[in-house]
């Protein structure tokens, strides 16, 4: 039954998407407004179809319907309920189903939000683009990634359950969906960019109407990535939160271009510049999500996260190629029309800083992409296997990170068009003091090493600059001074500064060791005393847990190792003691072989690690603040935007 | 201010320990050697028994006085080049280190070229010093004002 | 053709190259390492599941004082109780253990089979053998990881064939068959 409903849902989604696209295109070409409006309604058909399929999958999972092959391969009667629901996105086919559901959701919301403007070709073409993307994903689900294949379970069959690493932490229920809300959300500004290219309306229009969507998607993408890091930290056992693994890099790439885009649009809105940059960045973001999915799921690059090798690779690659060339052709076709009127007057200006920002983020994306695919290039050209791992990415991202912090400090200070040195000197005084004081403080507290110290200096520089902006704004406008795009943005920057502090502290001053302990034995580790107190063994329906009690300076930590019965896989569960100053994480490497036997633990100390999560949280708060309008729009206000160039400005 | 900055920076840099202890060297090396069975994770970050053994081996080798490149060489010989996570800086592999700087250089060059071309193309109206200052003052005042009402920053 | 358009074309060419690169890659796994073949076998030393000590050198030393036809070939089978390939190959190993390798004239070559279980628990290994048969010596415990590294073992199962003089003549990655071993032994 679930099989039928599920498959029907996908077919419905495909039909809805294709019919919608065709209807709208006919409507635009003929032209018949009516058709464009009707075509948009098919978004609801697609959404209904995906809801049906998702519902069918969840029902199959919850009732342990093993006649559905996906459930037979990934479900189990032993899996706890919450993890059972999350099992849907614990493997390829279900993940694509989730993707389809979220995409259809965005389609429906776009159709609703723009319902008064459906006869506008810009909106229509955007919908066509989204319909086509939807159709592609529906096709995949009918082809190589079918979640509703049937299975003939033998009597008494019970599935193996999802991968144990996906069953022991609650973030499995949040990280993938939030990441998807982020990725898939960028389909909206991308589609409008395509529509802008097709209709030739290359001004600020498409940027303005997609502003909220971009912010929303970016927020979720950021949250998703940070939650992923938190999850890794909580589960892995050696204090790591980011491994520069190909799949992690795949999720970072769209974030990098997306962040650049988020900033770069400000320049186009204000001065109509950087148009090609903005189109390219948003298209790149979308393309990178497809490329990222390809890298994750095709198996061509080995990764600890790669959890499937279906036949989906070629499909994704074809889709990537088609979209890439469509975008290139569109940009080529529009050619000179894309060129902005006017240009950047002086590098020492807000526009100049944003351009530098684009270069920095673009460079960062290039580094990450190059490092990830370089082994493939070497293999193709020289038939050798090499690896490009964390050491490369860490070394390369450091100068870029410093540059970004510097830009964060300097850009809010620079005025538009051209800065005069008086002005800059005046505005930069506080942040400069902030930078120096941060450095002195860190040195006094014991921080050493040229690179970390530089990092802290830049972080102080950027943080003080953001605080300066916020303070000035709050002084003028009270509480309202903290909301709105520019102020919210400064709060996000503050979050980035905290994040940077956490990154620098935890990576530069990490210390780690593994120790064998007899019951009752203590060791000294970096100013702390660690004692092995006791151990116990607990049984659960799907796993056996060996847990030890470790005393560290008076508080008790309980790291454990779990062996999952269905697969025999061992999964460690480290335990962490956190404080704003440092995190100490203890992982159980070797459980006791019997009564009163020794254990082996790994201890990791990382200073300032908590600030990574604080920073992430502040970034999200800033995003929310950005979305709150500073003041209600008053009708008829058009006095502000007089451009010295005398061009006609837009009316709100 | 710059004096304070330089003093603090130099002090903080030079005061740090020059040589790493054996354990630190071993840990650093461990993060550059891949665990053979673990799809690209370094041995410092894998709980697989083989990773634990390699970590212990590395520590022994450091204590025995082998150099970093010698230790890496042992594992490369045993398993192949892919076990080193740091791409080599010689030969073809050095491209991965050089290319980013090259690309950023080209991009900066392109931007500078476009900028200077624009500068020389434009026929600016020459303002007198007074006029320039007036314009600047007007613009600054306008900037501050628009900051306060934030109408365009919604 | 403006600078911009030629730039776009350049980008398109790069894009094509990139896509071709991705399209021609196959699933990547770190290749099995056969470097050990043709080298002297590294030391194998450890305790078996039954508590006995085992040392490869003992066999090799004895070989030196025997005529060629009596010298022992050693097959080392790296496995784990939880690996499915190990179950597949077990019957082949059983055959090797019980029948041995026969020369053309019907004389049996001297062969020894030892198992090296890594990442495994004693109880699981014992159950494995109880279920599938066989009672050749199986090394287990901490030292097995060292042996696995020395032989560049990546996954289970892998089997190595060592000639009487200590030279590694063959390495089979994946489930081994009786014939794999038979064709390697000459006595």
For C2, the closest of A309, A320, A336 (CB atoms) is A336
Is the peptide bond between C157 and the residue preceding it cis, with omega within 30 degrees of 0? yes
DSSP bridge partners of C173: C158
User: For A23, which DSSP code?
Assistant: H
Query: Six-digit token pair at A441?
Result: 């403080």
Decide which of A630 and A477 is more confident. Answer: A477
Pairing of strands A543-552, A555-557: antiparallel
Residue C35 counted as domain residue: no
Cα separation, C182 vs C170, in Å, equals 11
User: For C71, which DSSP code?
Assistant: P
- In Å, what is the CA distance from A184 to each residue of A191, A198, A288, C82? 11, 22, 11, 39
Residue C39 counted as domain residue: no
Q: How confident is the model at residue A648 (pLDDT cuts 50, 70, 90)?
A: very low
What lies within 8 Å, CB to CB, of A466 at 6+ separation is: A408, A412, A490, A491, A493, A494, A497
Q: How confident is the model at residue A255 (pLDDT cuts 50, 70, 90)?
A: very high
Q: Is C118 on the interface with B (CB under 8 A)?
A: yes
* Closest to A492 measured CA to CA, from A360, A627, A358, A365: A627
Task: Indicate the burial class of B135 (C-beta count within 10 angstroms; 0-12, 13-18, 19 or more).
Answer: middle
Identify the closest residue of chain A to C10 by CA–CA distance: A328
Token look-up 């021609």 returns C24
- The CB density around residue C102, as the number of other CB atoms within 10 Å, is 13
ipTM over 0.85: no
Cα separation, A280 vs A257, in Å, equals 9
Rounded average pLDDT over A213-242: 92
Tell me: do C22 and C108 sit in the same domain.
Answer: no
Residue C91 counted as domain residue: yes
Residue C77 belongs to a domain with what CATH number?
A: 3.40.30.10
Q: Could you give the dihedral angle defined by the CA atoms of residues A242, A248, A254 and A259, in that order, rounded to the nearest 10 degrees?
A: -10
- In Å, what is the CA distance from B92 to each residue of A365, A375, C19? 22, 11, 21
For B40, the closest of A387, A392, A433 (CB atoms) is A387
The DSSP string of A357-374 is HHHHHHHHHHHHHHHHHH
Identify the closest residue of chain C to A375 by CA–CA distance: C28
Rounded average pLDDT over A644-651: 41
Q: Is C156 on the interface with B (CB under 8 A)?
A: no
Q: Best-predicted range by mean pLDDT among A387-401, B16-30, B36-50?
A: A387-401
DSSP bridge partners of A517: A599
* Closest to A209 measured CA to CA, from A281, A102, A108, A110: A110
pLDDT at A310: 66
Q: Is A339 on the interface with B (CB under 8 A)?
A: no
In this prediction, the residues of chain C whose per-residue pLDDT falls under 70 are 1, 27-33, 84
Cα separation, A279 vs A203, in Å, equals 11
Pairing of strands C72-79, C110-117: parallel
Q: At what angle do helices A121-142 and A33-62 cross, to 10 degrees?
A: 30
Tell me: do C16 and C51 sit in the same domain.
Answer: no
Tell me: do C11 and C81 sit in the same domain.
Answer: no
- Please tell me the total count of domains within chain C: 2
User: For C163, which DSSP code?
Assistant: -
Tens of pLDDT, residue by residue over A557-582, are 999 988 877 666 678 889 999 999 99
pLDDT at A652: 35
Start-end of H helices in A114-186: 121-142, 175-185
The answer to whether the Cβ–Cβ distance between A332 and C15 falls below 8 Å is no
CA A278 from chain centre, in angstroms, equals 19
Rounded average pLDDT over A489-500: 95
Tell me: do C95 and C128 sit in the same domain.
Answer: yes
The DSSP string of A280-313 is HHHHHHHHHHHHHHHHHHH-SS--SS-----THH
Q: Could you tell me how many residues make up chain C?
A: 187
Residue C144 counted as domain residue: yes
pLDDT at A568: 62
Torsion sign (Cα): A456, A462, A465, A466: negative
The DSSP string of B62-116 is HHHT--HHHHHHHHHHHH-GGGBSS--SSGGGGHHHHHHHHHHHHHHHHHHHHHH
% pLDDT > 90, chain A = 54
Q: Is C13 on the interface with A (CB under 8 A)?
A: no
Tell me: do C57 and C135 sit in the same domain.
Answer: yes
Q: How confident is the model at residue A140 (pLDDT cuts 50, 70, 90)?
A: very high
* Min Cα separation B125/chain C (Å): 28
Tell me: do C105 and C55 sit in the same domain.
Answer: yes
Cα separation, A201 vs A552, in Å, equals 64
Cα separation, B98 vs A371, in Å, equals 12
Residue C40 counted as domain residue: no
Contact indicator for A72, A154 with CB cutoff of 8 Å: no
Rounded average pLDDT over B74-102: 87
Token look-up 């949040």 returns A174
Q: Is C152 on the interface with B (CB under 8 A)?
A: yes
Rounded average pLDDT over A106-133: 93
Mutate to test the interface with A, among C12, C22, C27 (most CBs of A within 10 A): C22
% pLDDT > 70, chain B = 83
Is the peptide bond between A31 and the residue preceding it cis, with omega within 30 degrees of 0? yes
Query: Six-digit token pair at C155?
Result: 């996954």
Cα separation, B84 vs A651, in Å, equals 59
Residue C36 counted as domain residue: no
The answer to whether the Cβ–Cβ distance between C21 and A325 falls below 8 Å is no
* Min Cα separation B109/chain A (Å): 12
Give contacts of B109 with chain C, Cβ < 8 Å.
Answer: none
Rounded average pLDDT over B2-24: 76
% pLDDT > 70, chain A = 95
Q: How confident is the model at residue A363 (pLDDT cuts 50, 70, 90)?
A: very high
Query: Six-digit token pair at A257?
Result: 């271009």
Token look-up 């696209």 returns A21
Q: Best-predicted range by mean pLDDT among A447-461, A629-643, B131-145?
A: A447-461
What is the edge-to-edge ordering of all strands in the sheet holding A575-578? Answer: A511-517, A599-607, A582-590, A575-578
pLDDT at A639: 47
Decide which of A483 and A289 is more confident. Answer: A289
At CA A576, angle to CA A88 and CA A600, rounded to 5?
100
Cα separation, C110 vs C59, in Å, equals 11
Q: Is the pLDDT of residue A636 over 50?
A: no
For C149, the closest of B53, B80, B82 (CB atoms) is B53
pLDDT at A506: 92
Q: How confident is the model at residue A544 (pLDDT cuts 50, 70, 90)?
A: confident
The DSSP string of A391-448 is HHHHHHHHHHHHHHHHHHHHTTTSPSS---HHHHHHHHHHHHHHHHHHHHHHHHTT--
Tell me: do C109 and C77 sit in the same domain.
Answer: yes
Q: How confident is the model at residue A12 (pLDDT cuts 50, 70, 90)?
A: very high
Task: Indicate the burial class of C179 (C-beta count within 10 angstroms; 0-12, 13-18, 19 or more).
Answer: exposed
Tens of pLDDT, residue by residue over A452-491, are 999 999 999 999 999 999 999 999 888 888 888 889 999 9
For A300, the closest of C4, C11, C22 (CB atoms) is C22
Query: Six-digit token pair at C11?
Result: 């980008």
The answer to whether the Cβ–Cβ distance between A300 and C27 falls below 8 Å is yes
Q: Is the pLDDT of residue A609 over 80?
A: yes
Cα separation, A258 vs A254, in Å, equals 6
pLDDT at C33: 67
Q: Give me the domain span that covers residue C90.
A: 45-184
Q: Best-predicted range by mean pLDDT among A22-31, A47-56, A377-386?
A: A47-56
Tell me: do C1 and C54 sit in the same domain.
Answer: no
Residue C167 counted as domain residue: yes
Tens of pLDDT, residue by residue over C70-105, are 888 999 999 887 776 788 788 889 888 888 888 877
Decide which of A348 and A500 is more confident. Answer: A500
Q: How confident is the model at residue A646 (pLDDT cuts 50, 70, 90)?
A: very low
The answer to whether the Cβ–Cβ distance between B36 and C152 falls below 8 Å is yes
Residue C37 counted as domain residue: no
Contact indicator for A542, A566 with CB cutoff of 8 Å: yes
* Closest to A216 measured CA to CA, from A253, A252, A189: A189
CA A290 from chain centre, in angstroms, equals 14
Q: Structural domain boundaries of chain A?
A: 1-162, 512-607
Looking at every residue in chain A, the average pLDDT score rounds to: 88
Chains A & C: contacts with CB separation below 8 Å: 58
Q: How confident is the model at residue A637 (pLDDT cuts 50, 70, 90)?
A: very low
Q: Is the pLDDT of residue A642 over 60?
A: no
Phi-psi category of C133—alpha, beta or left, where left has phi over 0 and alpha has psi -120 to 50? left
Q: Which of 560-589 (A) contact B at CB < 8 A?
A: 570, 572, 587, 589
pLDDT at B124: 60
Query: Six-digit token pair at B90?
Result: 């010689």
DSSP bridge partners of C55: C45
Tell me: do C85 and C112 sit in the same domain.
Answer: yes
Task: State phi, psi for A324 to the nearest 5 degrees.
Answer: -55, -45
Rounded average pLDDT over A90-95: 88
* Min Cα separation B87/chain A (Å): 6
Decide which of A183 and C152 is more confident. Answer: A183
Tell me: do C93 and C19 sit in the same domain.
Answer: no
* Cα-Cα end-to-end distance for chain A: 53
Cα separation, A45 vs A108, in Å, equals 9
Cα separation, B73 vs B4, in Å, equals 45
Cα separation, A406 vs A403, in Å, equals 5
């Amino acid at each position: 039954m679930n099989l039928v409903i599920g498959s029907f849902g996908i077919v419905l989604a495909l039909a809805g998407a294709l019919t919608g696209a065709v209807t709208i295109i006919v409507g635009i070409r003929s032209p018949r407004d009516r058709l464009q409006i009707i075509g948009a309604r098919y978004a609801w058909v697609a959404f209904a179809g995906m809801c049906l399929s998702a519902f069918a999958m969840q029902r199959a999972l919850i009732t342990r319907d093993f006649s559905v092959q996906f459930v037979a391969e990934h479900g189990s009667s032993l899996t706890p309920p919450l993890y059972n629901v999350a099992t849907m996105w614990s493997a390829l086919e279900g993940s694509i189903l989730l993707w389809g559901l979220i995409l259809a959701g965005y389609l429906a919301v776009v159709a609703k939000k723009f319902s008064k403007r459906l006869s506008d070709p810009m909106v229509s073409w955007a919908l066509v683009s989204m319909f086509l993307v939807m159709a592609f994903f529906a096709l995949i689900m009918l082809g190589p990634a079918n979640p509703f294949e049937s299975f003939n379970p033998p009597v008494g069959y019970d599935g193996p359950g999802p991968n144990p690493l996906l069953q022991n932490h609650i973030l499995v229920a949040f990280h993938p969906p939030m990441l998807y809300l982020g990725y898939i959300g960028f389909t909206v500004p991308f589609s409008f960019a395509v529509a802008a290219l097709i209709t030739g309306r290359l001004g600020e229009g498409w940027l303005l109407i997609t502003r909220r969507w971009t912010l929303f998607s970016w927020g979720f993408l950021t949250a998703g990535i940070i939650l992923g890091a938190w999850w890794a930290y909580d589960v892995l056992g050696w204090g790591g939160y980011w491994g520069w693994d190909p799949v992690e890099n795949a999720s970072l790439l769209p974030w990098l271009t997306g962040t650049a885009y988020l900033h770069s649009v400000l320049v186009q809105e204000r001065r109509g510049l950087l148009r090609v940059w903005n189109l390219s960045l948003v298209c790149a973001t979308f393309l990178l999500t497809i490329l990222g999915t390809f890298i994750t799921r095709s198996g061509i690059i080995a990764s600890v996260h790669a959890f499937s090798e279906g036949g989906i690779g070629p499909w994704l690659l074809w889709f990537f190629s088609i979209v890439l060339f469509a975008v290139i052709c569109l940009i080529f076709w529009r050619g000179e029309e894309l060129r902005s009127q006017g240009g950047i007057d002086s590098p020492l200006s807000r526009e100049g800083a944003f351009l530098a920002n684009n270069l920095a983020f673009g460079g960062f994306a290039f580094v990450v992409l190059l490092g990830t695919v370089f082994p493939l290039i070497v293999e193709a050209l020289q038939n050798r296997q090499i690896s490009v791992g964390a050491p490369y990415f860490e070394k390369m991202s450091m100068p870029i990170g410093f540059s970004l912090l510097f830009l964060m400090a300097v850009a809010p200070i620079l005025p538009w068009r051209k800065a005069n040195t008086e002005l800059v000197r005046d505005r930069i005084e506080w942040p400069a003091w902030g930078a120096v004081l941060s450095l002195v403080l860190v040195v006094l507290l014991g921080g050493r090493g040229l690179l970390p110290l530089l990092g802290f200096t830049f972080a102080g520089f950027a943080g003080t600059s953001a605080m300066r902006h916020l303070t000035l704004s709050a002084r003028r406008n009270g509480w309202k001074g903290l909301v709105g795009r520019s102020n919210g943005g400064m709060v996000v920057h503050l979050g980035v500064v905290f994040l940077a502090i956490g990154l620098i502290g935890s990576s530069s001053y990490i210390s780690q060791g593994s120790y064998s302990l007899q019951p009752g034995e203590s060791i000294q580790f970096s100013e702390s005393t660690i004692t092995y107190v006791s151990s116990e063994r607990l049984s659960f329906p799907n796993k056996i847990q060996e847990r030890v009690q470790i005393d560290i300076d008076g508080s008790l930590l309980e790291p454990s190792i779990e062996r999952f019965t269905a697969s025999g896989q061992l999964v460690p569960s480290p335990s962490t003691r956190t404080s704003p100053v440092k995190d100490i994480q203890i992982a159980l490497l070797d459980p006791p072989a019997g009564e009163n036997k020794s254990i082996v633990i790994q201890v990791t100390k990382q200073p300032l690690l908590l600030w990574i999560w604080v920073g992430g949280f502040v970034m999200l708060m800033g995003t929310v603040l950005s979305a709150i309008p500073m003041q209600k729009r008053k009708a008829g206000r058009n006095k502000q935007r007089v451009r010295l160039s005398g061009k006609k400005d837009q009316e709100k | 201010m710059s004096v304070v900055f330089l003093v603090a920076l130099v002090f903080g840099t030079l005061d740090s320990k020059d040589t790493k202890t054996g354990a630190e060297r071993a840990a650093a090396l461990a993060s550059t050697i891949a665990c053979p069975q673990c799809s690209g994770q370094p041995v410092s970050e894998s709980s697989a028994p083989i990773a634990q053994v390699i970590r212990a081996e590395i520590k022994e080798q450091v204590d025995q006085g082998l150099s970093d490149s010698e230790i890496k060489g042992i594992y490369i010989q045993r398993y192949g080049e892919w076990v080193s996570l740091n791409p080599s800086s010689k030969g073809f592999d050095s491209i991965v280190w050089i290319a980013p700087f090259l690309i950023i250089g080209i991009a900066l060059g392109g931007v500078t070229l476009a900028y200077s071309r624009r500068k020389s193309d434009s026929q600016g109206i020459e303002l007198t010093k007074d006029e320039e200052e007036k314009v600047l003052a007007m613009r600054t005042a306008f900037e501050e004002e628009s900051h306060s009402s934030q109408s365009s920053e919604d | 053709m403006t600078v911009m358009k030629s730039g776009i074309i350049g980008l398109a060419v790069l894009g094509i190259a990139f896509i071709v690169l991705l399209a021609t890659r196959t699933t990547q796994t770190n290749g099995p390492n056969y470097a050990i073949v043709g080298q002297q076998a590294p030391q194998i030393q450890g305790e078996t599941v039954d508590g006995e000590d085992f040392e490869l050198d003992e066999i090799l030393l004895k070989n030196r004082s025997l005529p060629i036809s009596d010298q022992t070939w050693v097959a080392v089978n790296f496995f784990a109780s939880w690996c499915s390939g190990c179950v597949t190959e077990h019957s082949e190993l059983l055959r090797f253990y019980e029948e041995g390798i026969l020369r053309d004239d019907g004389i049996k070559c001297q062969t020894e089979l030892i198992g090296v279980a890594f990442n495994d628990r004693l109880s699981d290994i014992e159950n494995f053998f109880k279920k599938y048969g066989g009672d050749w010596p199986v090394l287990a415990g901490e030292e097995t990881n060292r042996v696995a590294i020395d032989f560049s073992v990546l996954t289970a199962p892998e089997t190595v064939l060592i000639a009487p003089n200590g030279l590694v003549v063959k390495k089979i990655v994946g489930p081994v068959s009786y014939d794999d071993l038979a064709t390697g032994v000459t006595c």
